[in-house]
Structure 1
Amino acid sequence: MKSQYLKITVILGIIALIFIARLSYLQLFTDRYALNAANTSIKTEYIIPQRGVIFDRNGKIMVGNQPSYEISFTQALMKPDFDTLDFCNLMKINKPNFIKIINSIKNERYYSKLTPMTFMKNLSREEIARIQEIIFKYPAFNIVSRPQRQYEVSTSGNLLGYTNEVNERELKKDSAYYLPGDFIGKTGIEKSYENDLRGTKGVQYIQKDIRLRSIGSYKNGTLDKDVVTGKDITLTIDYDLQKMAEEMMVNKQGAIVALDPKTGEILVMATGPDIDPNLFIGPEKTKNLYRLQMDTVYNSRPTFDRSVQAAYPPGSTFKLLTAAAGMQMGVMDENTIFPCGGGFNYRGLRVKGHGGAVPLIPSIQVSSNCYFTYAFIAIMNKYPGDPTKGVDEWKKIMSSFGVGEFLNNDLAVGSKGRIPSGEFYEKRSGGKKDWSSAYTMNGSIFNGMGQGDVLLTPMQMANATAAIVNKGWYYTPHIVKSIDGKPNPDPRFKVKHKTLVDPKYFVPIMKGMEAVVLAGTARSLKSNDFTMLAKTGTAQVPQGKDNSIFVLAAPAENPKIVIAAVMEHAGFGATWAGPAATAIAEKYLTGDLKREQLYKKLVNASFMPEYKRQWVVELKRKGLYKEPNKDSAIIQNLKDSLKVVKNEAIKTKLIYKMDSLRSKSKINTPTK
C-alpha cells in the first residue's frame, strides 16, 4: 500500500514540476503574459493585408483590390467636451442618427470601450479627403483604410463570389485570426480559397499613455509581425469563353459547363441568370445582396448556381451511360437488338421506337427511347427475382463516373444529384423484394433514357462525358490552376479516377456520338472546321416545356474540350443547348466564332415568357395570384427589354418611360 502511495506522490510531483517549469518559461522568456498584464497600456493594432488577385487562365485580372475607407469609434477616447453637432456636420448626418449608431455599437456582442468599432463604412476618397483635415479634433474617431474588392469583369458573380463581414459562427470557427469587422469570403472562389486569398495580418504593439495616446512601439517593435499579402490565384477559367457563355444565358435559366477532359480543368462555368459581381461592392452592397437572395420571381434565384447546385433529369444524354453499364454488366453488347419495331408497350404505356429494331450505334444516333428502356429493363432483370441487386450493380457503375456523388472538388457549393438504389424502389413498392412487375408504376424503366429518378448537375454531365471520351477515366473537375504562380498543390486533382467499365465498351458509344453529329439528331450543328462527338437530350419536366440538354466533345479524334449545356424549359436539345455548346467549342478550338449565327440566336432569345407563365400557374395554385393592371404589364415588358438592349440612348428612354408609368400608377420605386 505504501509503495502505491509513493508512486502517486511521485507522479503528482512530476506533474507539478512540469507545470511550474512551463509557467516560468512563459513569464520569464516570452511576452505573452506581459502583454496581457499590460493591456491597458500596450495596445495591439492589426494591419489588414490586401487580398490576393484572381486571374483567368490567360492572365486577365478578374478580381483586384481598391482602398475602402471607414471611420472607427473608440469609446475610451471620447472627450468630455465632445461637440456632437460639429461632428455630425462634418460627417453629414443628424444628431438622432449619430446617437442611433453609437447605441447600436454599444449593443454589439464584442463591444469594448477600448476596442475601435466601426462607426461608418464605404466612404469615398472625396469624403475622406474632406474629413481627414478636421477629424483630429475628435480623437475617439479615426480613419481606417481597409482593402475592398474591385471587379474587372461584369459577369460570373456566382463563380467568383464575394466577401463580407464575419458573422458570429465564423468568428467562433476561427477566433485566432478573425476579429469583429474583418471580412471573409462568403461564396464562390472567395470562400473556397479564403485561406490563400486573405493573407496574414500585420501586428504592431503600441505603448499608450493613461489617456490612450500612442507613445511608441513596445520593445522597439521586436514583437511586431509583418503583414503578408494574400496569394494570387489563377483560375482554370477562360474568361473570353466564360463571358460568351454568360451572354448566351441572358433571359434563360440553366447552365453551360466546359472542361478540359485531359486535366479536369474547368474552362467555363456559366449559370443563368448571372450576377454582375460589381453589385457586391459599394454603399448599396447590403441592399443588393438582400435583393439577390430574395429574388424568386419566375423562379430566377440568381444566387443559386445552376451549374453545380441544380440537379436535372439528364434526358437522352444519359443513354450513353446506360449503354456503358449494360455492356459492362453483360446484359447487352453493341450488336444487341431490342424489339423496337413497334415501340415499347407495357400496361398501356407506349415508348416510341425511333428507328425500329436496330443495334446500339444507330440507336444512339437516332436517340431511341425504346432501345434504352429495354436496356435498363435488362439491367434490372440481370438477377431474376432480385431487381435490387441489378440496380445496385448499375448504381455502383454510375458512381464510378462521378454521378450521384459529390465530386469533392474546390468549389464552394455543389449537389450530388441522384442515382437511385434498389432499396429506393423497394420502399416505393411497399417493401417488395421483387418489385420489377411494378417498374412502370415506380418509374424505374425511364432511368435508361435519363428520365425516371435520375438527376445530374451540368458539371456531372460534363465530367461523365469526359470519362466516356477518355475511355474510362477522368480527373476531378477543379477551378484553380495555380496559386502564386505555382501549380495547384491539391492532391485531389492529381488522381486519375477510373470507371468500372472496360475501355473497349466506349468505342461503340463514341461511334454512336459521332453518328449523332454526322447523320443523327445533331446533324444541323456539324462543323467544317472540327469533328464532334455529341448527344442531344430533351428532358420532360412537369412544369411546362421540356429542358434542352446537350453534351459535346471535340475534336472527335482527340477531344480537347467537353461541354454540357442545359436550358430550362426551352425545348429540343439540338435547337437551343446544342448551338450554345457548339459555339463554345468553335471559339475554343479555332480561336474564332465562324458561325456567329449560333451565338446570335442564343443572345437574342428569351425564355422569360415561359418562366412567367409557369410562375403565374404556381401563384394561382397557391391562391396568391393577382391580375396586374395594364401599366404593370407594360412595365414588366419594358424591364424584360432593358435586359437585352445594348444601346445606352434606348436604355435611357426605356427607363424614363418605366419611371413615368410607375409615377402615374404609384407602382414600386423609380428605376436606378
Structure 2
Amino acid sequence: MNNLFNRKYVVQGVFIVVLLILVAKLFYIQIASDKYFISANSNVLRNIFTYPARGAILDRNGHVLVQNEPVYDLMVTPKEVKPFDTLDLCRTIGIDKKKFDKNWRKAISQNGYRESIFEKQLSVQVYARLQEKLGRYSGFRVQKRTVRQYPDSVGGQLFGYVKEVSEKDIKNSGGYYRMGDYIGKSGLEMSYEEVLRGQRGITRMIYDVHNVAQGSYANGEFDTLAVSGAQLISGIDIKLQKLGEKLMQNKVGAIVAIEPATGEILSFVSSPSYDPNLTVGRDWGNNYMKLFANPYRVFNSRPIQGMYPPGSSFKPIDALIGMQEGVIDPNTTFFCPGFYQAGRHRVRCEHVDGNTNLRRGLARSCNTYACYIFQKLLTRKGMKSQRAMYGDWEEKIRKFGFGHKLEIDLPYERKGIFYTEEEYNKRWGKRWGYTTVISLAIGQGEITATPLQMANAMAIIANRGYYYRPHIIKSVGDNREIDEKYRSKNFAGVDARHYEPVIDGMEDAVNAGYGTAYASRVPNILLCGKTGTVQNPHGKNHAVFIGFAPRVNPKIAIAVIVENAGYGGSYAAPIASYMVEQYLTDSISPGRRAQADWMMQQNLLPALKTKVKPGRIDTIRNRIDTARKKPDTGSRKTTTQPTKAERKP
C-alpha cells in the first residue's frame, strides 16, 4: 500500500517538473528572446558580410597607383524568392532574359537555401535604380564591396589582377575565403594578398517581409567591423614608369630601373603591356580572354620571366673577375685582328681594334678582348684544370646574381639558365674546355638572364661591389615594415678597387667618340653603360643596354631589352638615356625631346606567322596559280600578276 502511495507522488512530481519546463520555455520564447518574434512576423535575420577595402598602393612620391571604387553584388536566396516581374529586374540591372535564366540556374544548383551572387559588380548608378525597387524582389538583397581602379592605366604586369576565388583557393585559405570572395592572382596583388585584403566584418541584419533592412540585431552587439587592408608604398616613380611604357609601345622587351643605394625598383616595364583596368568590372572575363589570346603574350612579365642571353653586357662582369683573379690589369693589352680563334671555332668581332687595353675594349665592346679574359680565367692553373676552373668561374658569376632568383617581391620570377660544371660533363663527358664554351665570354651560349638580373648587375657595379635585393614595395602599413632580406647587403666578391677601371670603359662607351653608345650621351649627366647585341636564331637580333648614372653617387641603374631591334646602340641605349635623364632631371631636354617622341612612334613588333592547317586549300594562292595558267585571249602575250593583297602569305 505504501509502495503504491509513493509511486503516485513520483508520477505527480514528474508531471510537475515537465510543466515547469514548458512554462519556462514559453516565457523565454515570448518574453526573454526576440528570435521567435522575428520569425513570427515574417522577418529574416541574416549574416551580412562587410568586405573591407583593399589596401591602396602608392608610388615613392605619394601618388596613388592603385585605389578602390564601390560596386554592388546582387545576392539571392532562391527558396525565399516569390513571383515577381523578371523583365523589370533585367531592365533595372542591365541584363537580358537569357543571362537572367543562366544566373538563376546557377543559384539553384548551388543550394536553394544558401545565399549566392546573382549578378556581380553593379555600378553605383545601377545600384541607385535597383535600391528603389528592391522591395519588389523578395529573396534578393544588395551587398557592397570595392573593386580595384588604376588611375594611370599602366603597370598591368606589375600590379597584376584580382579574381574570384576558386575551390582550391578556399581550401588552402584556412577558412578565410568563401565563395564569391576575391583574391590577388598575379603581380603585387598576389604577393601582398594577406596584407592588402584586410579583415572581413559581419553584420547580423534584420529584414522585414518586404525585404527591407530593419537594422542590426541587438543594436549591433554581435557585429564585427571590417578592417581595411594595409597601404603599400612602392619605390616606383610614376613619371618614369609612364615614360618607359610610352617608349616601349609597339615593341617587345622590358625596362628595369633600380635605385642602387636601396634596391628599390624605380620602373618595371614589360612590353607589350595592357591597361589593368581591363581586368576589373563585369566585362573582366571577356577582356581577360582577349588579352590571353594576344599573340604577343601580354601576361608574360618580361622583366622577371623573359630570359635573354646577356650578350656583350656580360663583358664588364668577366673583366672584374679577371682583375680579382690577377689574370689581367687595366693596362693588359690583347691584339684584335677582328676575331678570336678558339680551336676550330672563330668568334668574330664587329671591328679590327688592333692592340687594345681594358678601357678601350669595353668602350668598343671588343669580342676578342673578352675571349682572352675568359681563356686566361679557365687556364690559369693549366690546361688540365680547365673544367675545375670553370666551376670556380661559375661560382663567382653567381655572386653577381646570375643563375638564381633574386627573390623580388613578385610571383613567378625565373632564375635563368646557367650551366654548372656537372651539366657540361653530362653533355660533353670529360672532353671539353674553354674553347668548347667560349661563347660564354661574350654572354652567349648556355646562359640566359632576366632583365632584372642585368639591372641588378649594374647596381653592383654602381655600388662598387654589393647590392640590395631588388624589391618593389619599400614599406607596408603604418609601421613601415619591410622584409629584412631587402635591408641587408649582398657582396659580389670583387674588391672595390677593381671597379673604377671597368667603369672607365663604361663611361667611354657612352661619352667617348669611339664608344658604342656615343649617340645616347646625356647632357650634363655622366651615364656609364654597356651595349649588347644578343643573337636571335628566330629573327633579327635583340638590342641590350645596361648602365647607371651619374658616375659619382649613382641614383639609377638600368637595363633595357628591345627584341628584334638589332644593335644595342640603336634602340636600347637611347631608351635608357631618356629614362635616366627623366629620373635625374624630371624632364627630357628640349634638344632630345623630338628624338624621344620619334622613339615612341617606332613599331618593332615582329610579324606574326599565320599557320595553314595541313590539307587545307590555300584559296588565295590557288586562285593566283589558276589565273597564271589561263590561256592568252589576245594577240599580245600577258602575264597575270598577283595583287598586293594576294602577295601577303
TM-score where L is the length of structure 1:
0.80
Which is worse superposed, 360-369 or 245-254?
360-369
Picking from 588, 597, 600, the partner of 1:600 is 597
Q: Percent identity?
A: 37
Mapped partners of 1:245, 1:230: distance in 2: 29
1:609-640 Cα deviation digits (max 9, x unpaired):
xx00xx32x847999996889xxxxxxxxxxx
- Indicate which of 463, 484, 494 corresponds to 1:491: 484
Corresponding residue number in structure 1 for 2:344:
347
Pairing partner for 1:532 from 527, 530, 533: 527
Tell me how far apart the structure 2 counterparts of residues 512 and 627 of structure 1 sit (CA, whole Å).
Answer: 58
1:456 and 1:434 mapped to 2: Cα distance?
27
In structure 1, the residue corresponding to 2:132 is in which secondary structure? coil
Q: Does 1:585 align with 2:584?
A: no
Q: Secondary structure at the match of 2:529?
A: strand
- When residues 540 and 623 of structure 1 are mapped into structure 2, their CA distance, relative to the original with a 3 A threshold, is farther
Q: CA deviation at 1:156?
A: 1.4
Instruction: State whether residues 354 and 366 of structure 1, in contact with CA within 8 Å, keep that contact through their aligned partners in structure 2.
Output: no
Shift of 1:385: 2.1
Evaluate the alpha carbon distance shift between residue 93 and residue 290 of structure 1 in structure 2; reply closer, same or farther with a 3 A threshold. closer
Between the aligned partners of 2:585 and 2:323, the Cα distance in structure 1 is 36
Q: How big is the shift at 1:436?
A: 1.4
Question: What letter matches 2:56 in structure 1?
Answer: V
Range moving further from structure 2, 364-373 or 347-356? 347-356
Q: Which residue of 2 aligns with 1:413?
A: 412
Residue correspondence of structure 1 range 177-576 to structure 2 within 5 A: 177-206=176-205, 220-296=219-295, 300-341=296-337, 343-345=339-341, 346-352=343-349, 354-383=352-381, 384-429=383-428, 432-436=429-433, 439-440=435-436, 444-519=437-512, 520-576=515-571
State the one-letter code of the partner of 1:543: H
Whichever residue aligns with residue 490 of structure 1, its letter is D
Q: Is the 8 A contact 2:403 2:416 kept in 1?
A: yes
Letter in 1 for 2:430: K
Tell me if the contact between 2:533 and 2:566 (Cα under 8 Å) persists in the aligned partners.
yes
Give the Cα separation in 1 of the matches to 2:167 and 2:485. 31
Q: Residues of 2 paired with 1:116 and 1:518: CA distance?
A: 68
Partners of 2:304 and 2:413 within 8 A in 1: yes
Distance 1:305-1:583 versus aligned 2 partners, 3 A rule = same
CA distance in 1, matches of 2:395, 2:165: 41
Displacement of 1:338: 3.4
Task: Work out the CA distance in 1 between the residues paired with 2:364 and 2:617.
Answer: 43
Aligned-pair Cα RMSD in Å: 2.9
CA distance in 2, matches of 1:89, 1:596: 51
State the SS of the aligned residue for 1:323.
helix
Distance 1:593 1:625, change over 3 A: farther
Q: Which runs of 5+ in 2 are unaligned?
A: 1-34, 36-42, 622-649
**Could you tell me which of 65, 71, 74 is aligned with 2:74?**
71
Q: 1:115 to 1:628 in 2, by over 3 A?
A: farther
Structure 1 residue 165 displacement after superposition: 0.6
Deviations 1:462-507 (A, max 9, x none): 1011101211101011111222354342111111111122222212
Kept in 1, the 8 Å contact 2:544–2:561? The answer is: yes
Q: Shift of residue 144 of structure 1?
A: 1.8
Aligned in 2, Cα 1:221/1:91: closer, same or farther, shift over 3 Å?
Answer: closer
1:158, CA displacement in angstroms? 1.1
- The 2-side partners of 1:119 and 1:294 are apart by 28
Question: Does the Cα contact within 8 Å between 2:542 and 2:563 map onto a contact in 1?
Answer: yes
In structure 2, C-alpha distance between the alignment counterparts of 1:535 and 1:625, rounded to whole Å: 50
Distance 1:479 1:563 in 2: 15
**Amino acid of the structure 1 residue aligned with 2:259:** D
| Distance (Å, rounded) in 2 between the aligned partners of 1:176 and 1:169 | 12
Q: Which runs of 5+ in 1 are unaligned?
A: 1-34, 630-672
**CA deviation string 1:441-468 (max 9, x = no partner):** xxx2111111112111111111011101
Which deviates the most, 552-561 or 249-258? 552-561
Q: Return the alpha-carbon distance in structure 1 between the equivalents of residues 111 and 162 of structure 2.
A: 25
CA contact (8 A) 1:354 1:370 kept: no
Looking at structure 1, the residues matched to 453 and 464 of structure 2 have their Cα atoms a distance apart, in angstroms, of 16
Q: Aligned equivalents of 1:317 and 1:627: distance in 2? A: 48
1:46 is aligned to 49
Residue 354 of structure 1 contacts residue 367 of structure 1 at CA under 8 Å; is this kept in 2?
no
Query: Cα gap change, 1:67/1:548 in structure 2, threshold over 3 Å: closer, same or farther?
Result: same
